[in-house]
Amino acid sequence: MTLGITGVFWLPRMAELNSVSLNAGTHAIPLVAANTAWSGLTAAWVDATTTVARVMAEIGVGLEGLNGLNVLARLGVFTGWAEQQAVMAGVMAGKAAANATAYTVASIAMPSLPEIAAVDAARVAAYSSGGALNGTAEAAEAAKLALDIRAALVMETYEAATSLMVMTPGQFLMPPPIAMGAGSANTATTLVFR
């Protein structure tokens, strides 16, 4: 029953520890913030791509000769790169949103501490009133086991969803050079005069 990146076997941890482990901390707030940030970055890359395409369309008419073709080629490569960055940022925004949803669903499905306490109280009451003889202790133990299994399954499912985000990373490539020598430490060796 280990599906995710932690390799934790969740069932032996029991419902109490699984519930506390899931519900302690900042909840889905950082995931929602990550989604917002990645969405903003996606919008910025789309804007950059649109702006460069518009600049290419406006100045492309006036550019002639080898230099003009060189400028348009470099801007075209940059536009393709910016489009790729927009897609990658959009994918990351989607992953963050999916992970926030997975956390929210998991926190709703996870047995709550009051629910766990009620089952524990029923177990104590069953054993203190002769439940081993009349079967109420067995029913209370079955309820406790059902909570433990439910908590373990919730953690397994949430971890699997989280693993999807972590194990499918995107690679953001370096931008292509637009100007000769741009981005290099030693511009004298990269400049080519024509």
Full residue range of the structural domain in which residue 119 is found: 12-169
Question: What are the tokens at 21?
Answer: 């482990």
- Residue 190 within a domain: no
Q: What is the pLDDT of residue 181?
A: 67
- Per the domain annotation, does 174 fall within a domain? no
Closest by CA to 151, choosing from 179, 126, 115, 188, is 115
Query: How many domains does the chain fold into?
Result: 1
> What does the pLDDT read at residue 71?
87
Residue 2 inside a domain? The answer is no
81-85: list long-range contacts, CB under 8 Å, 24+ apart: 81/173, 81/175, 81/176, 82/45, 82/48, 82/49, 82/52, 82/175, 83/45, 83/49, 84/173, 85/45, 85/172
Q: Is there a domain that residue 194 lies in?
A: no
Q: Determine the pLDDT at residue 103.
A: 95
Encoded amino acid at 17, one letter: L
Q: Using CA atoms of 131, 134, 136, 141 in order, give the dihedral in degrees to the nearest 10.
A: 70
CA triple 42-43-49, angle to 5 deg: 90
**What pLDDT score does 14 carry?**
95
For the domain that residue 24 is a member of, what is the CATH number?
1.20.1260.20
Is residue 1 in some structural domain? no
Cα Rg of the chain, angstroms: 28
Residue 68: what pLDDT? 84
Q: Tell me if 67 is assigned to some domain.
A: yes
Question: What per-residue string of b and e applies to 32-59 under the rule 16 or more CB within 10 Å gives b?
Answer: bebbeebbebbeebbebbeebeeebeee
Q: How far is CA 2 from CA 8, 20, 34, 38, 96, in A?
A: 6, 19, 27, 30, 22
Kindly state the tokens that stand for 90: 């959009």
Q: How far is CA 122 from CA 71, 141, 143, in A?
A: 77, 9, 9
> Please, which residues have CB within 8 angstroms of residue 44's CB and are 6 or more apart in sequence?
none
pLDDT of residue 136: 93
The pLDDT of residue 3 is 62
Whether residue 180 lies inside any domain: the answer is no
Residue by residue, pLDDT tens for the chain (194 residues) are: 566 788 889 999 999 999 999 999 889 999 999 999 999 999 999 999 999 999 999 887 788 788 888 888 999 999 999 999 999 999 999 999 999 999 999 999 999 999 999 999 999 999 999 888 898 999 999 999 999 999 999 999 999 888 877 877 678 889 998 887 665 555 554 444 34
For position 194, what pLDDT does the model report?
A: 40
pLDDT at 20: 96
Instruction: With respect to residue 148, please indicate whether it lies within any of the assigned structural domains.
Output: yes
In 3-state terms, what secondary structure has residue 52? Answer: helix
